[in-house]
Structure 1
Amino acid sequence: MKKIGILLLCFVAATKTFAQTPEADKILGLWLSEDKTGKIDIYKANGKYFGKLIWGKTMYEPDGTTSRKDVKNKDEKLRSRNLRDLMMLYDFTYHDNAWDGGQIYDPYSGKTYSCTLKLKEEKLYIRGYIGVSLFGRTSVWERVK
């Protein structure tokens, strides 16, 4: 009986060790923005993908500890929230090698855009747009190692 238990334990451990990350979860982790001024943590919650700002060159006041606020937000009620841990990417789902259906918030302009994310060769291509993807801009983020 002990042998069966040990074999079962070894099987479970081996399965976890060799299990591959589902395609959709390959986006998870830390990413550096194209201009290298922000670090974004992409994570999964309730089957959707989100990203929050965890570091930025201009994230703190001159004292180095007080988080700057989201002062450019179009919604006056949200202008008092901290830039630290600010949600920038939200509500993405994975379909056909892309994450879509979500939005990206730009704290530098205070604007929110529809967005599509694509992963190619460990680079994340972020296409933000208004209305139609044709009328947008693509930014390329690098994975933080």
Structure 2
Amino acid sequence: MRWIIAFAASFMLLTAHAMPSPEGVWRTIDDDTGEARSLVEIQVVNGELRGHIIEIIQSDLPEDEWYCTKCSGDKEGQPFVGLRILEEMTWSERHGDWRDGTITDPANGREYSARLSVMDDDQSLEVRGFVGFSLIGRTQTWERVE
């Protein structure tokens, strides 16, 4: 019986260690053009995943207008660079992804429920923002920056 428990514990440790981590820098991709828009740094702090913009790569706005004028609350008027766009995401063992948090779209200032999944290649991050049910929303694929 002890060896079964030891085996199960070892297996859980190995699979938990093998789980791809979302921590790092990710390149966001524009839905319409397919071009890179920004770099987002994702960190896990106290068990919660958070992400903020660290660089704007391409924008339709002049640089002196890179502020979240359409955001509300504490994000209103904040510069895009440094803006926290992912908040309060927690790991769901059951679903195998990060969820129950929010993502902010700096272009329109809206906050959406969010779900994140690191793809098997560990180089792609599926980011889904939605209102209410996850069926009604938008999915982007971000690319890991080495």
Q: Indicate the TM-score class for this superposition, using the shorter chain for normalisation.
A: 0.7 to 0.9
Structure 2 partner of 1:30: 25
CA distance in 1, matches of 2:74, 2:116: 29
Structure 2 partner of 1:127: 128
- Among 81, 85, 89, the residue aligned to 2:86: 89
CA distance in 2, matches of 1:86, 1:107: 9
- CA separation of 1:87/1:99 partners in 2, compared to 1, >3 Å: closer, same or farther? same
Structure 1 partner of 2:33: none
Structure 1 partner of 2:115: 116
Q: Is the 8 A contact 2:75 2:83 kept in 1?
A: no
CA distance in 2, matches of 1:127, 1:77: 23
How far 1:21 sits from its partner (Å)?
8.0
Q: Is the 8 A contact 2:20 2:118 kept in 1?
A: no
TM-score for both structures, normalised by structure 1: 0.74
Q: Is the 8 A contact 2:27 2:142 kept in 1?
A: yes
Q: Gaps spanning 5+ residues in structure 1: where?
A: 1-18
- CA separation of 1:46/1:77 partners in 2, compared to 1, >3 Å: closer, same or farther? closer
* Identical counterparts, % of pairs: 28
- CA separation of 1:70/1:101 partners in 2, compared to 1, >3 Å: closer, same or farther? same
CA distance in 2, matches of 1:22, 1:60: 42
Q: Gaps spanning 5+ residues in structure 2: where?
A: 1-13, 31-35
CA distance in 2, matches of 1:45, 1:104: 16
How do residues 6-45 of structure 1 correspond to structure 2 at under 5 angstroms?
22=17, 26-35=21-30, 36-45=36-45
Secondary structure in structure 1 of the residue aligned to 2:69:
coil
Q: Deviations over 1:82-105 (max 9, x none)?
A: 111100001011113200011000
Q: Superposition RMSD on alpha carbons, in Å?
A: 2.6
- CA separation of 1:24/1:92 partners in 2, compared to 1, >3 Å: closer, same or farther? farther
- CA separation of 1:113/1:24 partners in 2, compared to 1, >3 Å: closer, same or farther? farther
CA distance in 2, matches of 1:76, 1:47: 24
How far 1:107 sits from its partner (Å)?
0.2
Structure 1 partner of 2:8: none
Q: Deviations over 1:46-105 (max 9, x none)?
A: 11110000011339854xxx67221111x2764321111100001011113200011000
